[in-house]
A = this chain, B = another copy of it.
């Protein structure tokens, strides 16, 4: 019999169907066995009635057994209807075929699990409803990001992860043993590549892994993360970039509300995100306006202010000083010493940095030198500017941190399938495997 997806059972009342999935829950009541079956489309309750031929097999099974079940879809009596997917139906199990057995799980799947256990048993913990929701949400966020930018005329490109030099001397960057006598480094950002792509495509985005060798041990840092980056040409100033970002985040929020309705609290999104200059933020918070940046606790306080005063879970902070921003950041001619840059705070944490970039070749060479760097090492990048580059700007945003904040998770590692840090990197061989497509 053809497989029916669990999500489609609601329209099969009275029919005999074949369902394939995992046993999510199993309750043996002696004369009867109750199940929750799970497949990619949802869950449904199943019951193996007294005298059923399948009862003996049902008793052999356990949580996470993979099964093919034949049964009849019955409407539940009104009083037993529960408020969840397929809550008004039940699968009366007539036959069970075991496709794969499972050992008893090493932890209680319904209980609270601490972060270490969560990650030690990731291949199993990710099967829980809570964790599936996290990574479904992550998939929808990246989809929403691409969808919005595609619609705005952006072109996706693949940024390289191996880079050939480390002009500053190694802090914060992982070194790779490249071919004989050569080293390479893992990219910390696609920044310079995406700027070069503004020449041919004007509006570009790229999404992928980036690497940070920093010895952080916080709830919001990762050593390997997924970055969402875009860059756009022919802007007036950084506010055009902010508007594009705001549009993307509103679209993502809308998409999450549609695709995963009622699963978590969507952010407060006002008509337009509030914007304050760094100095204004410091005045609002009553802290020194001499500091070049906000401390984490200031970011939290400012987010609370934005929520309370502006009804927004997002707030832009603009005009960070030249000293605190990378060489490619445009200075504000109307506010010397300050840049046309911004951070976006979301529920207490910075999730995006962006700015208008310097597009004039001579000015860019000067800015590189001003930061004590050697323009010679940037010649490949500078080539794009020597031969004409429009005014442009863009942003970078960490996917895991964004997922964390949308869902209100405590630690960014909960929003990372296989987080890498100083103490954790799973011992998983991929190198021994004859490759899947680049071989011969």
Contact = CB atoms under 8 A, between A and B. Distances in A.
Interface string A137-165: 01100110000001001011111111111
A100 B380 contact: no
Interface stretch (A25-33, A196-204, A269-277): A196-204
Contacts of A41: 153
Contact of A124 (B211, B226, B383, B395): B383
A409 interface: no
A265 interface: no
A81 interface: no
Contact of A436 (B66, B150, B189, B208): B189
A226 B5 CA distance: 32
B429 A162 contact: no
B429 A378 contact: yes
Contacts of A418: 159-160, 193
Nearest to A396: B436
A26 to B, nearest CB: 12
A305 interface: no
A179 B387 contact: no
A430 B225 CA distance: 15
Interface in A178-208: 178-179, 182, 184-193, 196-197, 199-203, 208
Given A3-B234, A388-B65, A401-B437, A168 B431 contact: yes
Contacts of A64: 387-388
Nearest to A193: B418
A313 interface: no
Please give me the 10 A-B residue pairs with the lowest Cβ-Cβ distance, nearest first.
A396-B436, A102-B388, A168-B432, A173-B431, A40-B202, A164-B425, A64-B388, A167-B429, A123-B384, A165-B427
7 contacts: A66-B388, A103-B386, A122-B196, A123-B199, A176-B177, A184-B420, A225-B438
